[in-house]
Structure 1
Amino acid sequence: MQDFDFDAVVVGAGAVGLACGYALSQRGLAVAVLEAEGHIGQGVSSRNSEVIHGGLYYPTGSLKARLCVEGRRLLYAFLDKHHLDYKKCGKLVVATQESELEQLATIYDQALANDVEGMERLTGAQARALEPGLNAHAALLSPESGVFASHDYMLALQGEVEAAGGAVVINTPFEGATPLAGGGFTVRIGGPEAATLTCRLLVTAPGLSAQAVAANIEGFPKDQIPEAHFGKGVYFRLAAKAPFQRLIYPPPIHGALGTHYRNDLGGQAVFGPDLEYVPAPDYSVDPAKAAVFAAYIRKFWPDVPADLLTADYAGVRPKLHGPNDPQPDFQLRGADTHGLVGLMALFGIESPGLTSSLAIGEEVALRLAV
C-alpha cells in the first residue's frame, strides 16, 4: 500500500482553500495547504466586500444557493466559536423606482425557495423608517446578512488546520502534479525549498489561477478546464459619517450584485464593487471614477457628497463567463468529469464564495468520500 507524505494537499490558502483544508483535517487527515504568496489570503480573499450573504439570488438547486445558505449558518457559528468580530447588520435590497418592483418580487420568491430565514417585504416608507435618507420605492429586508473581518477568519482556519497536525505552507507555489499508478499524486512545489511530495487526495482552490493549476496536472483533460474571465471591481470609501447602518443593495446587474453600500467593522462607508472585464488581473483604481460611482449611488442615496468619495481598492473575480454570457454555478470538478480519482478541482469560486467557504469545504470532503 502506498505510503504518502500527506493524506491531502490543498492548492491555495485563500478562504476556500483553507476551508477545504479545515474540513479535511477535521476528519483526521494529514493536510498540507500550499500558498504561492508570502501570506495567506492574498488573492481574491483579500479584495472583496467582506459581506456575509443571505443567499437570496441564486437559482433553485444550484450549488451557490445551497452552499451560500449552509455556509452562512456555519460561518456565524465558526465566528462565534472563535470569538471573531462581525456585525449581523441586515441588508436592504432597494427598488428605487416602480420598474424594479417585479425584480424585487422575483428575488423575494427566490430567497424563500432557497430557505433564507426572516425575509421581509417593506414599503418605501418602512425602508426609510429604518434608514432615513434612503430613496426606496420598496425594499426587501434580509436580517441574516452581515459583515465580518475575513482575514481574521482565515487566520482562525489556518490555526485549526495546524492544531489538527496539518501545515499551511507559504512561499510554496504549485508547479505540477502527476497521478501515481496505484492512486494518489506526486506534487511538485517551487519556492526557496523546491521539492516533491506525495498525497492521496489533491484539491485545487487557487482562485484566479485555477485554470493554470489544472493545466499543470498531468492527465487533466484540456476540455474540462473552463475558460477564465477576469471581472475587476473597484471600491470607493466615503470620507464622512456612514449614512446607513445596514447593507444597501440595488437590484443585481447582469453577472454581479451591483455596486452596493456597506458600513464596515470600523464604521466607515464603502461603496462597490462595479464590474469591468479585464484581460488580466489589474488592481489599479482610477480616482476619476468617483463621478460614475456618485451617479450610481445617487439612485438610492440622493444626498451622496460626490466630493467626499475617495478611491480605495480593487478586486478581481475569477469568472467563468463573459459580459454577455449567463452566469454559471460554482464548478467542483471531480473524477466523474476529469477521470482523476482523488482530485477535486474548483473553478469560478467568486461571490458568494467567501460566505460559502465552510460549506464548500464540507462539500469537497463529501465528494472525496472522506
Structure 2
Amino acid sequence: MEEANIVVIGAGIVGLAIAAKLSERNEGVYILEKNAKFGQETSTHNSGVIHSGIHYPPGSLKAKLCVKGNLMIYEICEKYKIPYKSLGKLTVAIEEEEMEELEKLRRWGEANGVEGLKILEKEDIKRLESNVEVEKALYSPSTGIVEPDELMNYFYAKASQNGAVLATKTEVTGLRKIGDEYEVSGTSFGEKFTIKAKSVINCAGLYSDKIAMLIGLDVEKLGYKLHYCKGDYFRLIGKPPVKMLVYPVPKGPGLGIHLTPDLAGVVKLGPNAYYVDNI
C-alpha cells in the first residue's frame, strides 16, 4: 500500500492551487485526477472572468473569497506574466425593476469591499461602449479576464517544484477513515491502487458530492448534493461589438447571457443555463 501525507482529489484550478500552497510546507502531497490532463472540466469551460464580488450577499464566504481572490489573481498574473486584462464590466438595466437590482448589487459590492463601483447614466455608458443601448449600468472596474490554462499551468508548476505529485488517469472509487488516517482506493491507468493518507481534500468539482458520499456523508441532508446546470457559448464573428464585459441583471440560474471579450478581443456570447440530470 502506498503512503501519502496529503491526497488532493481533483486537479482543476482549485485542486492545483491547494496543492501548490500546501506543498510549500508539507511533503508527500499527491493530486489524483481521473482525466488524462489537469483542468479538463469546469476549470476551462467557463468565461475566464475575474469577478469583483458584487453578486454575493455581504458577509458570505463566497463574497469574502471573491474580493480577496480578485486582488490575488491580479497580483499573481502581474508577477508571473500570466496573460490577463483588467477590462471592467457593465451590468446593464433595461426595465425599471432592474434599476432597483443595480442599486442592490452596488450596495452589496460596497459592503463586500469592492472599490470603484458607479451607477452610470446613458450618456456615460455610450462613451464607454457605443453599441450598448441602455438607460443605466453598474460599472465595476476591477472585473477582468484571465487565461485559465495559463493560470493552472502556474499552479501546477509551483506544486511540482515543491515536490507534489500529479497522478492522471487516476479515479478514486473508494474512501474510508481508519483510525486517524484515510484509505483512498480506485483505479490508475486501469490498475487498482490503494493509498493510506493522513489528510484528504475533496476538490472533485462536478463529482465532489460523489466523493463525499464515499466517506459516508449524507449529501442530501447536508445540502451537498449537486444539481447540474449546463450552459452554451457562441463566438461572434466580425468586428467585436464591445471592449468591456457586458452583463445583464442576473435572473434565474447563473449570471445571465453576457458578452465576454477574450484576450485576443474576440467576443463570446453566453452562457445560457439549464438543468440536466446527467453529464
TM-score (normalizing by structure 2) = 0.95
1:171 positional shift = 0.7
1:96 positional shift = 2.1
Structure 2 counterpart SS, 1:44: coil
Tell me, which stretches of 5 or more residues in structure 1 are unaligned? 282-370
RMSD over aligned Cα atoms = 1.6
Alignment partner of 2:168 out of 157, 160, 170: 170
The 1-side partners of 2:53 and 2:210 are apart by: 30
Q: Tell me the equivalent position of 1:65.
A: 63
Q: Tell me the equivalent position of 1:45.
A: 43
Structure 1 counterpart SS, 2:74: helix
Percent same amino acid at aligned positions? 35
Alignment partner of 2:53 out of 55, 65, 89: 55
CA contact (8 A) 1:21 1:31 kept: yes
1:119 positional shift = 1.1
1:221 positional shift = 4.0
The more displaced of 137-146 and 191-200 is 191-200
Q: Tell me the equivalent position of 1:79.
A: 77
The 2-side partners of 1:90 and 1:251 are apart by: 16
AA in 2 matched with 1:209: Y
Q: Tell me the equivalent position of 1:344.
A: none
Q: How does 1:221-370 map to 2 (within 5 A)?
A: 221=218, 223-224=221-222, 226-281=224-279
CA contact (8 A) 1:261 1:271 kept: yes
CA contact (8 A) 1:241 1:269 kept: no
Alignment partner of 1:23 out of 21, 24, 28: 21
CA contact (8 A) 1:177 1:186 kept: yes
1:163 positional shift = 0.6
Tell me, which stretches of 5 or more residues in structure 2 are unaligned? none
Please say if 1:90 is aligned against 2:88: yes
AA in 1 matched with 2:185: R
1:79 positional shift = 1.4
The 2-side partners of 1:164 and 1:81 are apart by: 19
AA in 1 matched with 2:200: L
The 1-side partners of 2:187 and 2:70 are apart by: 35
1:220 positional shift = 3.1
Q: Tell me the equivalent position of 2:202.
A: 204
Please say if 1:188 is aligned against 2:180: no
AA in 2 matched with 1:62: S
Q: Tell me the equivalent position of 1:220.
A: 217
1:210 positional shift = 1.1
What is the aligned residue count?
A: 277
Q: Tell me the equivalent position of 1:130.
A: 128
The 2-side partners of 1:114 and 1:225 are apart by: 25
1:95 positional shift = 1.1
The 2-side partners of 1:151 and 1:81 are apart by: 17
Are the structure 2 counterparts of residues 225 and 256 from structure 1 closer, same or farther at C-alpha, using a change threshold of 3 Å? closer
AA in 1 matched with 2:188: G
AA in 2 matched with 1:190: T
